[in-house]
Structure 1
Amino acid sequence: MDPTLDPNAPDRAVRLDDIRRLAVSAPMFRDDAAALWFQKELEQVIAAQYERKYPEMKMSSGAMIPIRSTVPRGKKTGSYKMYDFVGVAKWLTTGSWKDIPKASVSAARATFQVHEFNLGYGWELGEIEEAQATGTPLEQFEAQATRMGMDKFLNDVGMYGDANKGIHGITNVPNMTVIDAAAGTGGAYRWSTTGVTAKTALEMVADIALAIRTMRSVTNQVHRPNRCWIPPSFWEATNRVVIANTAVTVRKYLADNYPDIAFDEVNELEDAGTNGVPCMIFAHLSSPDELWLEVPIPFEQHGPFQDGLSYGVATRESTGGVITPYPMALLRMDFT
């Protein structure tokens, strides 16, 4: 949403005229100067929260997958078609229609729920009077915590979903492929393991190759991953472990040999696999309509509301979780 607080915007949740009306009419302010001061302070606080971003939350910031609003505001359910590609081309023989292999696309209608979540912040009259008397800005810690809390909530839902609400995250999309990484010759599964049991560089690369082969196989060669999200402990290992008898790190090797795959670390994958084990996520993503985080109502702020000797601002947002019409173009690899 536009953070400029345009009073003429038809969908503006917090409008300048609402702030002015409440500030001027509120009986708690002794004079117009106090009301005007509060009005300006509140405008700045609210605008700052729209501008605030938390890039470390890669799902809710849009750094992992696109954020879209395909469900109209007010609707509680959405739907999409889930596609399954079938078909293998063959050499032309007679040219007769009956001899030409047929490709088909089966589509199943899938629905998802949209749920709203909320958080709020505000000030007591004493806090407002103290800030005005000392010439300091209104305290923003609570407002900042609210924005962070909303982003964290959306980020977690986008990663893990919520079974109670019927919402899915990128780690548990229905019909996505889930496989287990193979153990290394030393017995370890995880890239973060060190010592004599640790996986070698080539065994780490073999895990990537396995994921690629699997996605290509289950999609009948239609999809190949071009995104790979890795737990931070594994990502650190790629810069520590080198190919035998060389100075080439695993990270450098992956960049050189898989230039079409964008690798990135994601904190939440440290324990997002089955039974809390680390996992990697692989995806084929070439357009926003292939895989996205559904957010029908982006971050909004409503108010201010007066309640006795307090002012409050309520925030809201809604989500339907992670949506993909092509679930087999998404793969999770667990590391026991």
Structure 2
Amino acid sequence: MTQQQYRADALIRPVDLEAIDNRIYEAKKEELKARTIFNVKTDVPEGAETYSYDVIKRSGAAKILAPGADDIPLVDADMERHTEKIYSIAAAFRVSVQELRQAAMAGRPVEATKADTARKAIAEKENRLVWVGDSKHNILGVTNAEGIQTMAVSNNAAGASTKWKDKTGKEIVADIRKARTPIEKLPGHSANTLIVTPAAMEELGKEYNEYTGQTVLQYLKTQGWFSTIEFTSDLEGKGTGGTDCFLILDNSPDVVEVLIPMDIKRHPEEYKFPNYKVPLEERTGGAIVRYPMAILRGEGI
């Protein structure tokens, strides 16, 4: 064989890149759970380093005026400008020269399951940024955004535990009903989304009470309180003191969005014998929380 046959641009074929791309861009639904719950904002240029938006903070309240009084209270919705950095999430995988030779010999594309692993790593990091941020880079997520409401759940009837595993179905529903109220009272907002931990989702399978024959989850659905009930392990240990938590929120775009200026992208492969390194990149700003008062974190479950 001549040296030319071992050139980097001669070993990896278009059919191999196509196979890799198919695995990269066909992400599994559960890997992008935050994207199924929140609107994804994609109209920011991928070259942007920051994104600025206004956070609404309401102040003041109405009151009943006595006859002849003129001390009308001022109610304001302060707009506070926030600027978030946009980051790259990157991962890469290797394909060896021998793997390419074997694929060519068999007349099939290169095995691209490694692309799944790299894509999953990026998707997991994106989801974690949305829910809990990243303390190293001073990024806040939906669970810890500045200005969200918090509520410690009550003890069970025995007064011994706040955890849902130690509560009846009716007590769990009471926690959820109480957590909905502060958001439902906000003009123009609806507490339409419930997010829990995987363990808490299991507890929603408890019987609501002995008379209905329904589980807690079935009861919640019949009440029509939520259009979305989901779970994610990213809420584990994110309450005060490291307790598990749940979120009740209005998931409309004027409350929270996921910022993705550039979705996952494969960059040109890099060759260093005996491997090709295939880099993947996504540009994200995590969660953009515009109205934190419409998010409540329930703690102690």
| Equivalence map 1:23-102=2 (5 Å) | 27-28=5-6, 35=10, 38-50=13-25, 52-60=26-34, 62-69=35-42, 71-86=44-59, 88=61, 102=74
C-alpha distance in structure 2 between counterparts of 1:275 and 1:173, whole Å = 17
Is residue 263 from structure 1 mapped to residue 239 from structure 2 by the alignment? no
Matched residue, 2:204 = 238
TM normalised by structure 2 equals 0.87
C-alpha distance in structure 2 between counterparts of 1:26 and 1:43, whole Å = 24
Matched residue, 2:273 = 308
Kept in 2, the 8 Å contact 1:82–1:109? The answer is yes
Matched residue, 2:283 = 318
Which region of structure 1 is more displaced relative to structure 2, 266-275 or 112-121?
Answer: 266-275
How much does 1:172 deviate?
Answer: 1.0
Structure 2 residue identity aligned to 1:45: I
Instruction: Name the CA shift for 1:38/1:222 in 2 (closer, same or farther; >3 Å).
Output: closer
C-alpha distance in structure 2 between counterparts of 1:70 and 1:84, whole Å = 25
Aligned length: 298
Matched residue, 1:13 = none
Matched residue, 2:296 = 331
Matched residue, 2:131 = 159
| Equivalence map 1:125-274=2 (5 Å) | 125-186=97-158, 187-191=160-164, 193=165, 198-216=166-184, 219=186, 221=187, 223-274=189-240
How much does 1:271 deviate?
Answer: 2.9
Kept in 2, the 8 Å contact 1:231–1:266? The answer is yes
C-alpha distance in structure 2 between counterparts of 1:58 and 1:190, whole Å = 28
Instruction: Name the CA shift for 1:26/1:296 in 2 (closer, same or farther; >3 Å).
Output: farther
For residues 59-109 of structure 1, give each alpha carbon's deviation from its aligned partner in whole angstroms, at most 9, with x where no partner exists. 45x112122135432222221111123465678999x99576654221111
C-alpha distance in structure 2 between counterparts of 1:36 and 1:120, whole Å = 19
Structure 2 residue identity aligned to 1:73: E
Q: 2:243 aligns with which of 274, 277, 283?
A: 277
How much does 1:27 deviate?
Answer: 4.3
Kept in 2, the 8 Å contact 1:224–1:284? The answer is yes
C-alpha distance in structure 1 between counterparts of 2:263 and 2:273, whole Å = 30
C-alpha distance in structure 2 between counterparts of 1:116 and 1:26, whole Å = 36
Instruction: Name the CA shift for 1:166/1:70 in 2 (closer, same or farther; >3 Å).
Output: farther
How much does 1:273 deviate?
Answer: 2.2
C-alpha distance in structure 1 between counterparts of 2:248 and 2:103, whole Å = 50
- Identity between Structure 1 and Structure 2 (%): 26
| Larger RCO: 1 or 2 (CA < 8 Å, sep 6+) | 2
C-alpha distance in structure 1 between counterparts of 2:151 and 2:94, whole Å = 47
Kept in 2, the 8 Å contact 1:238–1:249? The answer is yes
C-alpha distance in structure 2 between counterparts of 1:208 and 1:92, whole Å = 36
C-alpha distance in structure 2 between counterparts of 1:289 and 1:122, whole Å = 41
Matched residue of 2:91: which SS?
Answer: strand
Kept in 1, the 8 Å contact 2:20–2:115? The answer is yes
Structure 2 residue identity aligned to 1:334: E
C-alpha distance in structure 2 between counterparts of 1:28 and 1:36, whole Å = 7
